[in-house]
Amino acid sequence: MADAVTDWLNFRPLDAPWPAPFAEGLTAPGIGTLLLNLPIALALLDSSGRITNGNDAMKANAGSRWRPGMRPEAMLVKDDAELLTRALADVLAGGEAHTLRLALAERPDEVRDIHVIPTPSSMGGQAVIAMRDIRDQIRLENQVAAVTRLQAVGQLAGGIAHDFNNLLTAILGHAEQLLDRFADAGPEHDAVTEILKNGQRGANLVGQLLAFARQQPQHRQLLCVSDLVNDLRPLLVKLLGPAIDLDIVAPKGKFAVRADPGQLEQVIVNLAVNARDAMDGNGSVVITIADIPRRDVAALGYEMMPAIDFVAIDVTDTGSGIPPEIAAKIFEPFFSTKPQGQGTGLGLSTVYGIVKQSDGYIFAKAGPGGRGTTFSLYLPGRPRPAAPAAARETVKLDADPVPAGRRVLLVEDEPSVRAVFARGLERKGCIVTAAGDAMAALALLRDGEAFDVLVSDVMMPGIDGVELAFEAARMRPDMGIVLMSGYAELPRHRDADARGIRFLAKPFALAELVSAIATAQPLKP
């Protein structure tokens, strides 16, 4: 019968009659027995709105406020009591049932769904109050809201990144050209240098947002995590300071990971800096690398992780720990416990985005007694190659690597960016033909014009840069390809990357574009 009553309370139409077993059970003398045995909180009210009988579940909700003949409003916080008073008055005057979500006086951080329902005269009362514990439901609603909020921020970041990076590209490009005019020390030189510095800060901020949104271009390669972390030791020691001990436990395991080395380094550095700030400059940080074979994944206790091989990276500090009330928010962008002006709140959200974009998982847990925190990263493990991994590719930015006369087809839909690149490349000796979109560029190729290199933006109206690159390569198989983008959709980006297309992430220095043009290769078949 209890299940039937619960279902009825949850789904009954407002004008539905009471179920027969319940109506019969509430008539004296069976009312006391029925109320006491039901698992939901129930109380019967008289014509004055006072409780004449209630079960143990209702008494537990009332707590120390429970007394015979009490008004149910006494169980609620002051602001909510008035809402219940109005609902009771309406029901006792012959109105329909009400459902309210109200907070308890003894536990104001908890709310209950409260049903106020008129009763038949045969039941010896005028109304019934039923309370439903919805803490699990509230928890789920909060989790869904948090996920939705994170997705919205990610979509916003991805949506504005391309346009914002175009603005920064134009600003930095013009500033670079101004710096050539004011090469000597002086007020003008200092002002342009400051423009460049702040423009780069803006670029870094957009990069962090893109990392959170998982839309940051990646250049993945097979990495030994132990080697990467050990190579970071000098930088980490400098960042942590002399009062913080750093211990790296990184034996070479059987597994490697496929990730962007620069982004993985950023993850380690961000976690180390976060640990430093949590310890106020004194304490210790331990970074541990370990293989997690697939048979041991279930023992970790994280149901969402598949049973595959992983490489685990644990970063443990001896700081103040993470208070439980903010634990669910630490990966949200712009959330920070630091004083205003001492952080953007993007450190951990950047870490989260990079780990997720790398197909990994990240968790945070408090240390013994709530002191200290361990951030655990799990990246899919792959068999380590027999030969050492190739050294990371570096690009040497020579003073003028592009020979005079290199013919460049520049495709960019943003006029300011197109102008600054065309002017900069022409000053380096290139012969530049500019087009505002892919259709105009294809028309030039169809007319038989010859070019050594195609330089194109990725995100353009109509045909995007990747499609243009593939079509241009079909028409001119010997032409080098360079694509530039504020961000790139990952599936297209990886497809193009596999064909040997060189990507430049906006904003970038003119020297990087010049070097990319000098080393651009035709597409692989």
Structural domain boundaries in the chain? 2-133, 138-213, 221-383, 407-519
pLDDT score of 456: 92
Among 31-35, 327-331, 512-516, the range with the most confident prediction by mean pLDDT is: 512-516
pTM of the model: 0.46
Identify whether the C-beta of residue 89 lies closer than 8 Å to the C-beta of residue 74: no
Q: Where are the beta strands (DSSP E) in 238-279?
A: 244-249, 255-259
pLDDT score of 309: 93
Q: Which residue has the higher pLDDT, 397 or 160?
A: 160
Identify whether the C-beta of residue 318 lies closer than 8 Å to the C-beta of residue 279: yes
For residue 61, give both structure tokens.
Answer: 């909700």
Give the pLDDT band (50/70/90) at residue 393: very low
pLDDT score of 219: 65
Overall size of the chain counted in residues: 525
Output DSSP code: residue 393. P
Q: What is the mean pLDDT of residues 30-58?
A: 75
Q: Which residue has the higher pLDDT, 391 or 370?
A: 370
pLDDT score of 416: 83
pLDDT score of 33: 57
Mean pLDDT value across the chain:
76
Give the pLDDT band (50/70/90) at residue 453: very high
Q: By C-alpha distance, which of 456, 459, 473, 309 is closest to 384?
A: 309
Q: Over 70: is that where the pLDDT of 5 sits?
A: no
pLDDT score of 41: 84
Output DSSP code: residue 156. H
pLDDT score of 466: 85
pLDDT score of 204: 65
Q: What is the mean pLDDT of residues 267-282?
A: 83
In this structure, of 184-198, 225-239, 317-331, the range with the lowest mean pLDDT score is 317-331
Q: How far separated are the first and last CA of the chain, in Å rounded?
A: 71
Q: What is the mean pLDDT of residues 235-261?
A: 87
User: Which of the four CATH numbers 1.10.287.130, 3.30.70.890, 1.20.810.10, 3.20.20.70 does domain 138-213 have?
Assistant: 1.10.287.130
CA distance 204 to 409: 29
DSSP H helical segments within 327-437, as ranges? 347-357, 415-427
Determine whether domain 221-383 maps to CATH 3.30.565.10.
yes
Q: How far is CA 121 from CA 9, 42, 98, 351, 501, in A?
A: 19, 18, 19, 63, 81
Cα angle: 46, vertex 50, 53; to 5 degrees: 75
For residue 7, give both structure tokens.
Answer: 């279902």
**Strands 255-259, 221-223: pairing kind:** antiparallel
In this structure, of 95-109, 201-215, 343-357, 440-454, the range with the lowest mean pLDDT score is 201-215
DSSP assignment of 238-249 equals: HHH-TTEEEEEE
CA distance 474 to 467: 11
Write phi, then psi, for 359 (nearest 5 degrees). 65, 25
Q: What is the mean pLDDT of residues 68-81?
A: 86
Q: Which residue has the higher pLDDT, 121 or 405?
A: 405
Q: Over 60: is that where the pLDDT of 8 sits?
A: no
Q: Where are the beta strands (DSSP E) in 167-238?
A: 221-223
Q: Which residue has the higher pLDDT, 337 or 435?
A: 435
pLDDT tens readout for residues 127-170: 888 888 777 777 777 666 766 666 666 666 666 666 777 777 77
Architecture of domain 407-519: 3-Layer(aba) Sandwich (3.40)
Among 151-155, 266-270, 387-391, the range with the most confident prediction by mean pLDDT is: 266-270
**CB-based contacts of 271: which residues, under 8 Å, 6+ apart?**
315, 351, 375
**CB-based contacts of 270: which residues, under 8 Å, 6+ apart?**
347, 348, 350, 351
Among 13-17, 24-28, 81-85, the range with the most confident prediction by mean pLDDT is: 81-85
pLDDT score of 441: 92
pLDDT score of 439: 92
With a pLDDT cut of 90, the percent of the chain lying above it is 13
Q: Over 50: is that where the pLDDT of 322 sits?
A: yes
CATH superfamily ID and name for 2-133: PAS domain (3.30.450.20)
Q: By C-alpha distance, which of 8, 301, 300 is closest to 128?
A: 8
In this structure, of 199-213, 442-456, 500-514, the range with the lowest mean pLDDT score is 199-213
**Hey, what amino acid is at 365?**
K
With a pLDDT cut of 70, the percent of the chain lying above it is 72
pLDDT score of 107: 80
Number of Cβ within a 10 Å radius of residue 209:
27
Number of Cβ within a 10 Å radius of residue 510:
20
**Strands 244-249, 221-223: pairing kind:** unpaired
Asked whether this chain's domains 221-383 and 407-519 adopt the same fold, the reply is no
